[in-house]
Structure 1
Amino acid sequence: MPIRPLPDTLINQIAAGEVVERPASVVKELVENALDAGARRVDIDLEEGGIRLIRIRDDGCGIPAEELPLAVSRHATSKIASLEDLEAVATLGFRGEALPSIASVSRFLIASRRREDEHGAALQVDGGRVGEVVPRAHAPGTTVEVRDLFYNVPARRKFLRAERTELGHIEEWLRSLALARPDVELRVSHNGRPARRYRPGEADAAARLGQTLGEDFARNALRIDHAGAGLRLHGWIAQPHYSRASADQQYLYVNGRAVRDRNVAHAVRLAYQDVLYHGRQPAYVLFLELEPQRVDVNVHPAKHEVRFRDARLVHDFVFRTLQEALADTRAGATPVAAAAPAPAPQAAPMPAWNPRPQPLGLRVDEAVGAYAALYGTSAQAQEAVPAPPAAAAPTPAPLPAEEGGIPPLGYAIAQLHGIYILAENAEGLVVVDMHAAHERIGYERLKAAHDSMGLRAQPLLVPLSLAVGERDADVAEAEAATLAELGFEVTRSGPQTLVVRSVPALLAHADPEALLRDVLADLREHGATRRVAAARDELLATMACHGAVRANRRLTIPEMNALLRDMEATERSGQCNHGRPTWTRFTLGEIDRWFLRGR
């Protein structure tokens, strides 16, 4: 078969295979065009899940009549004109493929009017065949109608799902958009009936959070806003006890664009690693902002993915920001939740987030001896770790006292079945799992002790020869200094051979070969690793578990109060080492409802 140019309609249909996956893809492209046009209100009318009809109406700047044919031609756009524009693109759309691709697989109509024009104009495209521009009455803005999607490509149409499924994909994308653009009003109707409305509000991002993800998420959200190294990360992360079975509440935006990024997702998982129950997924809405030149948005036809110029810096910035925020989720703390509104992406930056509130002091009447009596059980575990210098691991500051001088976890009143501590605080009843709480306290103290000394290397009596792939050998050679900081002395002795002369001292009795392979894989894929720290933490967690107070041990009131005060002062004390909660509270109002008081 000879080489020949493809017809324009076929070219557009091929492009549609990349851009138009289902009705939700059409809605995404058209609504993003509306936002790029400055729309403040977008109406989305759907029929049969968008398969029969998608109509998008906006109040944006509009399109001149003479430019309508260009709007449905390939690679025609008003958003970029040079390579410099592409490298600093700030609009949601820019490729110039969406409209012609959509028009090639549907019965398509576009009508528009600029505010300064006396009347509007319309253009119809039927399966890629472009009609004539005709005058049409139209309010300022643009309307795009997409009817009978894939009517001329039956092989694609048969892959569409049921009406309810396709509508669900559209609703999920609109939920993602609503989180990113609280300043825009979105109205959705389906089969002629109003389905959903997101009301606008420049400073109402917090309300959007509850409206889109539910009030439960909003109540358990920690507010994040941190800047450094030319990066800014803001938004919300859910407290560890609010976790999900799936990744259905994970939203990431880079410069206002909703994306999926494995590098950032990995950093988030690492930040939650020490506080999340096994198999559970964190929930978050995060906005990452950086200079457009530092991120490439032109790596995916549907613009779902981006590529960072310095992926390692981004990974480390996200990890450390979230790790510090989660470290401050101490027992008794009240989350800085969605009551504090987050700015829209175009809003002015907020002051840098300060992860540690200033202590106001606590009234603690317990004797010092209570601490010694309580923690005497962990002496065996503590002996395994050399004590750090006195100033190396200071005791964290306690949480501020609540109204009336009562600490957040209150004061102990009883012990239940030798397992739970019952305490009274200003709100009502606090119940603490004493083993889980003591386990976390001991674990954090062991980590602080080791962090103060750093990771020591232990030389191997006989150097270990390790066969690896050539890529891993390249990484080991390039990252020799990083490996040395982790306790590994590694040299390359051949194209696919490494010689290991020392390993982390604390992990010398583990499997150093498997650990090093995992470290190299992390460095190759993410540019950073926490494998050594995770292996160390796993060992320290086991030590802390063995040293924690056991069930059925009777504690005195001073001992119970000592444990409560230490919980308030210890990072991550809301969860045990395995991610289970260490405490819960019941307000007086809840308890009143148990007994129908006031009815």
Structure 2
Amino acid sequence: MARIALLSDTLINKIAAGEVVERPASVVKELVENSIDAGSRTVRVALERGGLGRITISDDGHGMGPEDARMCLARHATSKLRQLDDLFTISTKGFRGEALPAIASVSRFTLHTAEPDAQVGTRVVVEGGGEPLVEEAPPRVGTVISVEDLFYNTPARRKFMRRESTELQHAEEAVIRLALAHPDVSFFVEHGGQQLFTSPASPGDPRERIAAALGPGVHPHLVPVEERRLGVTVTGHIASPEYTLPNARGIYTFVNRRYIRDRGLNSAIQRAFQEFLAAGRQPVVVLFIDMEPRAVDVNVHPQKLEVRFADARGVGDAVNAAIVRALRAAPWLGSKGDGLAPEQPRQAAHYAMAVERFLTRAQEATWGAPLPLPGTQDAPGPGSAAEFPFAPGPSSSGSAGSTFAPVSPLPPGRTPAFGQAQPQLNEAPPPGYFGALRPMGVLGERFHVCEGPGGTLVVLDAHAALERVRLMTFQKALEDEKPPVPTLFGATVELPVPVARALVEGREALARLGLEVEPFGGTTLAVKALPPSLVGADARALLEALARALPPPGGALDATSLAEALRVLACHAARHAEGQLSDGKLRALLGELDAADFHPSCIHGTVVVLEVPLLELERRALRPPGPRP
């Protein structure tokens, strides 16, 4: 009796899944890579229970027809290779045709897709590697893939999964790697309905994507690198030696936009930094190595995390030379004989301006004068010129510099200096002001107390800050004329007759704002699409406010006519996100504020409600003036 037999397709798929699908992060990586290969400009990742409960990937790529939707679940079926020579000129993320069938064999798998302009979409359902169920479905933009109960039919694999928080970190890291490689694509990640990572496309300035991925604190330290050699181009950014990490998690290397781990490259990076870093510290590096595909073999690792170079030494030398050149040319190596640290010119200039402002205020300050509190008659109200309130003005109590108020107009032709603002005009902060704030705590469940550059106490209105950045997002979406994207969390809302009528008549305006509503019988409306930042918000309150803010039917639908509606969207999005503002999200928000436009008005205008210089705090301290003991 023969002892050797062919394995069944089901068993083959499960073996392949063991190589390709290590954990939920592997599923996220493979599916998001497919979305990028499909030409997507926006990718959304929704996770539950760290990805073990559910993983949903939705994109706006070119989608698939019924035949391709069925074939993509067959092993070794791919659109990216046709002949042997193609294996040596790979420019896509995927190419083996193993990921989708492997994932479907160890989960409850659903695919919903449609080709552009198709009248009918396709849904494919597979449970545990069984026979695919293919059926017609409503048309949609791009593809949505849902993976539920990962490893439910392979309990031996499931029991080796780590804690939910650990798996979630790995999944988020998988998205961050792809986001760094593709700054021209927008990425949004949420877990249990709460946003974890939000990064709109930033093709013009890769530093914005790096700051979104690694934290806004790295942004002012980023230095560009570039090295061009025969057949190899190295570009990217490194952080100055003042910004380091205790581990190597800040090192990201990409070969032809594919994240890889390579000991030779890491060694080249470490050699370049060895003279600049203290013991036990690691650099922050985001490097892109572009080379002829024939000079690198990407088919040497099951998860494609390693490659083999035809000239590994040459690539390592190019990486080392790029970093060394950037480090030696950087300003922190300049002369230090002038008493001013040249390695931080922006912060030094900021500090000098802050000192000048503090001294001016100190000359006018009165000992023991009380501090006016936000909300009192001495504090600025919403919508005043103090929205970004670098406008120090005396309060009625005689104190100076403790709160922000409008100041007298400047003479014609004179540019406002730091610490001044014209009435009805919100002056932008100095570069990096918000990103340099150091959060210290929360006051009244809304106000965030921060330490500012140069020794200031800054109180940030979280709702107004969120409202400001959300308004920018909605304005950008309106300018790009993006159509509403169907939400996975639809809702029905019963409304008063006038409100329902106004919303139905204003459906065209709502669509321009990214909302889609349909009559659902009587005065009930079904919400079919919402901007991502409004998913989970109070739909009834939002719709009632929008009904009052929409322009009359028949008029032009532009930024001017929809300005009030945009402010309503921003306010409700801020209200929804306000209670979810963790430390990490607060730091991301501060980074977004540095790029915000403070000229358009918001419903709640004040962002910084209080800024008190350290010198004034010391003068108000309960001790007699004089030198410290």
* TM class, shorter-length: 0.5 to 0.7
Which has the higher relative contact order, 1 or 2, with Cα contacts under 8 A spaced 6 or more apart? 1
Distance 1:595 1:99, change over 3 A: same
Work out the CA distance in 2 between the residues paired with 1:262 and 1:149: 32
Letter in 2 for 1:196: F
Work out the CA distance in 2 between the residues paired with 1:18 and 1:47: 23
Quote the offset at 1:196 in angstroms: 3.0
Q: Give the corresponding residue for 1:325.
A: 326
* Pairing of 1:388-467 with structure 2 (within 5 A): 409-410=339-340
Letter in 2 for 1:57: S
* Pairing of 1:514-553 with structure 2 (within 5 A): none
- 2:60/2:141 contact within 8 Å kept: yes
Q: Give the corresponding residue for 1:568.
A: none
Q: Give the corresponding residue for 2:147.
A: 146
- 2:227/2:318 contact within 8 Å kept: no
Work out the CA distance in 1 between the residues paired with 2:232 and 2:222: 22
Quote the offset at 1:235 in angstroms: 1.1
Partner SS, residue 95 of structure 1 = coil
- 2:71/2:77 contact within 8 Å kept: yes
Superimposed CA distance per residue, residues 3-32 of structure 1 (whole angstroms, 9 cap, x where no aligned partner): 000000110100111110110100100010
* Pairing of 1:246-395 with structure 2 (within 5 A): 246-329=247-330, 331=332, 333=334
- 1:331/1:409 contact within 8 Å kept: no
Partner SS, residue 299 of structure 1 = coil
* Pairing of 1:221-236 with structure 2 (within 5 A): 221-236=222-237
Work out the CA distance in 2 between the residues paired with 1:34 and 1:185: 12
Partner SS, residue 86 of structure 2 = helix
Distance 1:301 1:143, change over 3 A: same
Q: TM-score, normalised by structure 2?
A: 0.54
Work out the CA distance in 2 between the residues paired with 1:587 and 1:11: 60
Q: Give the corresponding residue for 2:38.
A: 37
Quote the offset at 1:162 in angstroms: 1.7
Distance 1:301 1:426, change over 3 A: closer
- 2:198/2:212 contact within 8 Å kept: no
Work out the CA distance in 1 between the residues paired with 2:259 and 2:340: 43
Quote the offset at 1:181 in angstroms: 1.5
Q: Give the corresponding residue for 1:596.
A: 616
Partner SS, residue 302 of structure 2 = coil
Quote the offset at 1:53 in angstroms: 0.7
Q: Give the corresponding residue for 1:106.
A: 107
- 2:30/2:99 contact within 8 Å kept: yes
Quote the offset at 1:216 in angstroms: 2.1
Partner SS, residue 6 of structure 1 = coil
Establish whether residue 137 from structure 1 lines up as the match of residue 157 from structure 2.
no
Quote the offset at 1:134 in angstroms: 0.8
Work out the CA distance in 2 between the residues paired with 1:240 and 1:99: 42
Establish whether residue 176 from structure 1 lines up as the match of residue 177 from structure 2.
yes
Work out the CA distance in 1 between the residues paired with 2:290 and 2:200: 25
Work out the CA distance in 1 between the residues paired with 2:127 and 2:183: 35
Quote the offset at 1:98 in angstroms: 0.1
Partner SS, residue 18 of structure 1 = helix
* Pairing of 1:544-563 with structure 2 (within 5 A): none
* Pairing of 1:472-483 with structure 2 (within 5 A): none
Distance 1:332 1:270, change over 3 A: closer
Q: Give the corresponding residue for 2:22.
A: 21
- 2:119/2:139 contact within 8 Å kept: no
Distance 1:272 1:410, change over 3 A: closer
Q: Give the corresponding residue for 2:117.
A: 116
Q: Give the corresponding residue for 1:50.
A: 51
Work out the CA distance in 1 between the residues paired with 2:243 and 2:185: 29
C-alpha RMSD of the superposition: 2.5
Larger radius of gyration: 1
Q: Give the corresponding residue for 1:580.
A: none
Distance 1:52 1:426, change over 3 A: closer
Work out the CA distance in 2 between the residues paired with 1:325 and 1:204: 18
Q: Give the corresponding residue for 2:241.
A: 240
Work out the CA distance in 1 between the residues paired with 2:103 and 2:194: 25
Q: Give the corresponding residue for 1:85.
A: 86
Distance 1:197 1:410, change over 3 A: closer
Aligned residue pairs, count: 359
Percent identity for Structure 1 against Structure 2: 44
Moved more, 2-11 or 79-88: 79-88
- 1:332/1:409 contact within 8 Å kept: no
Letter in 1 for 2:222: A
Letter in 1 for 2:229: G
Letter in 1 for 2:11: L
- 1:410/1:426 contact within 8 Å kept: no
Distance 1:38 1:589, change over 3 A: same
Partner SS, residue 616 of structure 2 = coil
Superimposed CA distance per residue, residues 434-482 of structure 1 (whole angstroms, 9 cap, x where no aligned partner): xxxxxxxxxxxxxxxxxxxxxxxxxxxxxxxxxxxxxxxxxxxxxxxxx
Partner SS, residue 299 of structure 2 = coil
Quote the offset at 1:428 in angstroms: 6.4
Distance 1:120 1:21, change over 3 A: same
Unaligned runs of 5+ in 2: 342-347, 353-451, 458-611, 621-629
Work out the CA distance in 2 between the residues paired with 1:279 and 1:219: 23
Partner SS, residue 128 of structure 1 = coil
Q: TM-score, normalised by structure 1?
A: 0.57
Work out the CA distance in 1 between the residues paired with 2:319 and 2:292: 16
Quote the offset at 1:247 in angstroms: 0.7
